[in-house]
A and B are shown apart, each in its own frame.
Chain A
Amino acid sequence: MIGQTLRLKVAALTDIAPSLRHVRLVAADGGKLPPAAAGAHIQLVLAGPGRSFRNAYSLVSRPGARDAWDIIVRRVPTSRGGSAYIHEALQAGDTLEASWPGNLFAPVRTARRHLMIAGGIGITPFLSYLADFAMSGGEHALHVCCREEEKDVFAPWLAGRSGVAFHWDADGHRLDSPALLAAPPAGTHLYVCGQAAMNDEGIAAAAAAGWPASHVHCEHFGAALVGGAAFRAFLAKSGIEVQVGEDESLLDAIERAGVAAPCLCRGGACGVCAAPLLEGEAEHRDHFLSPAERNAGRLIMPCVSRAKGGRLVLDL
């Protein structure tokens, strides 16, 4: 089990909702895929017009599956990149380059109980959690907040699963976070995954109920802000100046210029892409750098962070 990249073939594409596409992937050579854990994701390299995108998607297939991987891709309304490509151009039979699975959101094995809160498409990592807990016997509850008409979209992945409740914006159906978070016994771990505002609200409600931060986990990537004002970045080692567009990340622009930049989560969580900042002030949007590192102003995470002024100089 040694390797870095995989060739995958699209086995099937299904639209499960107007903006949600289910993609089934198999090994292009007909062999077996590496097993992956609950909460794992893969990075896909997606060819776009004139450039390629690298997007990370949670695996929703059962943990350990080696015959096929399933992902669910939401069409981001403003996207001209990866999600648009998957929704508009990708065909069954196409092959894609993918990373081996990574995992920045694995369930905590010492937990006595797992409490999950998902917002919309944020349910995806929890679909594999549910399969894991069904197998390992982990006590759990999943609360999904979505639009009322969306609550049956994930039914194929929830068949036979216990402990799942749906909430939507109508009297008697809203999630009462303070009440939910006041009750659990010691040893419970909380996991939230959804839009940034929902994540923040869940984390704040847990803190207000006295939860120690060590028991509160949040999947940031996918929900991270990507766009912002356009700016320029000069890559000092390479001697290249790149223009970073409003709807792309600094990392996207660096890759477009053909400069190698290691990366993993593309969501400001893992720290792999941290780059030395020589000039300019960063607008930090990551979850990795410490307050002291941010204040020092010597590092930037180009996958999510941008320029406060019009220009940055990176030592790349």
Chain B
Amino acid sequence: MSIAFKPEETFRGDYRYRNSDAAILRFPFPFPEDRYMYSVNIEPHTRSGPSDVYLHAFDVDEHYIAECRDKAITLERDPGRCQVLPHMMMAQWDTLELLMESLSADYPALFSLTKEGDDFGSLWTWINRPLGIEQRFVFGDAETLPCEPFEYITRQAQGDFAICDQRDDNLYMDAGMVTSQADWSLEFDVGMSFMEWHGPVPLAHQTGVFERALKYLLMLRLGQPVRRLNWTMSINPRLDTSPESYPEWGPDRASVTPANAGEKVHLRVELQTLWRLPRSNAILFPIRCYLASLDDLARVPKWGKRLHRVLSTLPPQLVEYKGLTRYLPAALEWLAQRDDGAELPVGTAAGVTRLNAPVSG
């Protein structure tokens, strides 16, 4: 497989992020039905699914180089986006091992890992061709890397990562690398228990969703990762929509009009996977973010129409929680013009293999 990377893309300032037609067709569209329904929707993360973003343990796509660079910019401005509590060193090595093994096995043309042994103390050589990195280090010896192992490897991966320590029949978010989040602060949340960090989520607490999810995750098995999709919306293709930088991106929400919504408003889908880590018994929680503008999505007629219908049925508490209040009407007006009301098949599949011509801009 060869991926045509687009290193010139940016996720701030002039926003030179664009999806190729292939990237739009593989977008992990999250809505199988016309109505908004909240569900835990956890399924095994096997190497299969309705889009090829599910085919690898950790998906790498055309935005890889640009996303890693945007992450470095964010970290430079705010090093607090990477937090690791002191008891998480074993889990840091677990994460490095899982990512290096998975990436080198899934993308041998891009990444390679050579080991002189599997145990701590062995010499490993890691090659990351897209980023031009070759690193020899001693597995288990943080001094032999330019930074701690969790930060080292997650700087070379798309998306955010949290690690949850399991103790006392609970999960604690005791480490994280969070630079492309949907408005939550790792520095505020680090160390919180499962219920605490989900505290601000509306509606779901009353139905016992989090109790059930926690019980399920406590039994998560090594070798059997699971996944779910979550979503929100962003103005402009911006990865860093953190509360920390809200003063920078908040004003964008007031800039949306029915005329520019197609270009400005992006559906932001998170492919969340959960992995039991072998050496620490912690749980790794990668949150991989995919962005597509309404323009992009409307080129798949089923998706454009469905998004219109789902957004029309969103409970007001969720509109507020997801921060859509100010621009949802403009987005809906834009989408309504592209929804003829035709019946749509259930499921998230695009249903087409080629895209319609761009609809605006």
Chain A residues in contact with chain B, CB under 8 A?
1-4, 32, 34-37, 39-40, 62-67, 100-103, 106, 108-110, 135-136, 214, 264, 270-272
Whether A64 lies near B223 (C-beta < 8 A) is no
By a CB distance below 8 angstroms, the chain B residues around A101 are: 222, 278
Which chain A residues lie closer than 8 Å to B87 at the CB level? 109-110
**Which of A32, A39, A64, A100 sits near B221, CB closer than 8 Å?**
A100
A270 touches B102 (CB 8 A): no
Shortest beta-carbon contacts, A-B, top 9: A106-B281, A100-B223, A109-B87, A35-B278, A66-B118, A3-B223, A37-B281, A103-B281, A110-B87
Q: Report the bound CA distance from A270 to B219 in whole Å.
A: 7
How far is A104 from B165 in the complex, measured between Cα atoms in Å? 14
User: How far is it, in angstroms, between the C-alpha of A270 and the C-alpha of B216 when the chains are bound?
Assistant: 11
**Measured CA separation A66–B278 after assembly (Å):** 11
Please tell me which one of the listed residues A37, A67, A270 contacts residue B280 in the complex, with CB atoms under 8 A apart.
A37
With the chains together, A270 CA to B215 CA distance in Å?
10
Residue of B nearest to A6 (CB): B223
Among candidates B102, B215, B279, B282, residue contacting A64 with C-beta atoms closer than 8 Å? B279
- A-side interface mostly: loop
Contact between A67 and B120, CB atoms less than 8 A apart = no
Who on chain A is nearest to B105 by CB?
Answer: A1
Q: Is the CB of B119 within 8 A of A65?
A: yes
Q: Which label, helix, strand, loop or mixed, suits the secondary structure of the B interface?
A: loop
Residues of B195-242 at the interface with A, using a CB-CB cut-off of 8 Å, are: 215, 219, 221-225
Q: Contact check: which of B90, B165, B222, B224 meets A136 at CB < 8 Å?
A: B90
Q: Is the beta-carbon distance between A2 and B46 smaller than 8 angstroms?
A: yes
Kindly state whether residue B101 has any CB partner on chain A within 8 Å: yes
Q: Does B167 contact A (CB under 8 A)?
A: yes
A121 to chain B, nearest CB (A): 22
**Interface flag for B75 (CB, 8 Å):** no
Does A264 lie within 8 Å of B279, measured CB to CB? no
Which residue of A32, A34, A135 is within 8 Å of B140 (Cβ)? A135
The answer, among B46, B98, B223, B280, for a CB contact under 8 Å with A109, is B280
Q: Are B90 and A1 in contact (CB under 8 A)?
A: no
**B167 — which chain A residues lie within 8 A by C-beta?**
108-110
Asked whether B47 is an interface residue with its Cβ less than 8 Å from the other chain, the reply is yes
Q: Is the CB of A110 within 8 A of B221?
A: no
B127 to chain A, nearest CB (A): 20
B60 at the binding interface (Cβ < 8 Å): no
B19 close to A (CB within 8 Å): no
In addition to A103-B281, A109-B87, 13 A-B residue pairs with Cβ atoms within 8 Å of each other are A3-B223, A32-B118, A40-B281, A62-B119, A63-B279, A64-B120, A66-B119, A106-B280, A110-B165, A135-B120, A135-B140, A136-B90, A271-B215
- Look across to chain B and name the residue whose beta carbon is closest to the beta carbon of A264: B219
Task: Decide if B153 is an interface residue (CB 8 Å cutoff).
Answer: no
Are A35 and B118 touching (Cβ within 8 A)? yes
Contacts of A270 in B (CB 8 A): 219
Distance of A34 Cα from B279 Cα, bound (Å): 10
A108 to B140, CA, bound (A): 19
- Tell me whether B166 is interfacial, beta carbon within 8 Å: yes
Contact (Cβ within 8 A) A34 B223 = yes
The residue among A62, A135, A214 with the most chain B CB atoms within 10 A of its own CB is A135
Q: Is the CB of A64 within 8 A of B278?
A: yes
B residues near A64, Cβ cutoff 8 Å: 118-120, 278-279
B278 to A2, Cβ gap below 8 A? no
Minimum Cβ distance to chain A for residue B117 (Å): 9
In angstroms, Cα B278 to Cα A2, docked, is 12
Report A58 CB to chain B, min CB distance, Å.
Answer: 14
A4–B279 contact, CB under 8 A?
A: no
B311 within 8 Å of A by Cβ?
no
B89 adjacent to chain A (CB < 8 Å): yes
Q: Are A34 and B219 in contact (CB under 8 A)?
A: no
Q: Are B120 and A2 in contact (CB under 8 A)?
A: no
The interface residues of chain B lying within 8 Å CB-to-CB of A66 are: 118-119
**A135–B90 alpha-carbon span in the complex (Å):** 10
Tell me whether B224 and A109 are in contact (CB under 8 A): no
Q: What chain B residues lie within 8 Å of A67 (beta carbons)?
A: 118
Q: Which of B45, B57, B97, B219 contacts A35 (CB 8 A)?
A: B97
How far, in Å, is B100 (CB) from chain A's closest CB? Answer: 11
B330 CB contacts on chain A under 8 angstroms = none
Rounded to whole angstroms, the CA-CA distance of A161 and B327 in the bound complex is: 64
Chain B residues 67-111 with CB under 8 Å of chain A are 87-91, 97-98, 101-102
In the complex, chain B residues 119-173 whose Cβ is within 8 Å of any chain A Cβ: 119-120, 140, 165-168
A2 close to B101 (CB less than 8 A): no
How far is A64 from B46 in the complex, measured between Cα atoms in Å?
A: 24
Report if A1-B279 is in contact (Cβ < 8 Å); known contacts: A35-B97, A67-B118, A102-B222.
no
Give the residue of B91, B215, B222, B281 whose beta carbon is less than 8 angstroms from that of A34: B222
Task: Report A123 CB to chain B, min CB distance, Å.
Answer: 20
Smallest distance from the beta carbon of A105 to chain B beta carbons, Å? 9
Chain A residues near B279: list those with CB within 8 A.
Answer: 35-37, 63-64
For the complex, what is the distance from the CA of A222 to the CA of B329, rounded to whole Å? 61
Which residues on the A side are within 8 Å of B57 (C-beta)? 1-2
User: Which of B118, B165, B168, B278 is the one whose CB lies under 8 Å from A1?
Assistant: B278
Given the known interface contacts A35-B279, A64-B278, A64-B279, the answer about A100 and B120 at a Cβ–Cβ threshold of 8 Å is no
Q: In the complex, A67→B101 CA distance in Å?
A: 16
B172 CB to nearest chain A CB (Å): 8
* A271 touching B219, Cβ below 8 Å: yes
Task: Give bound CA distance, A40 to B94, whole Å.
Answer: 15
Question: Smallest distance from the beta carbon of B123 to chain A beta carbons, Å?
Answer: 16
Nearest residue, chain A, Cβ from B101? A1
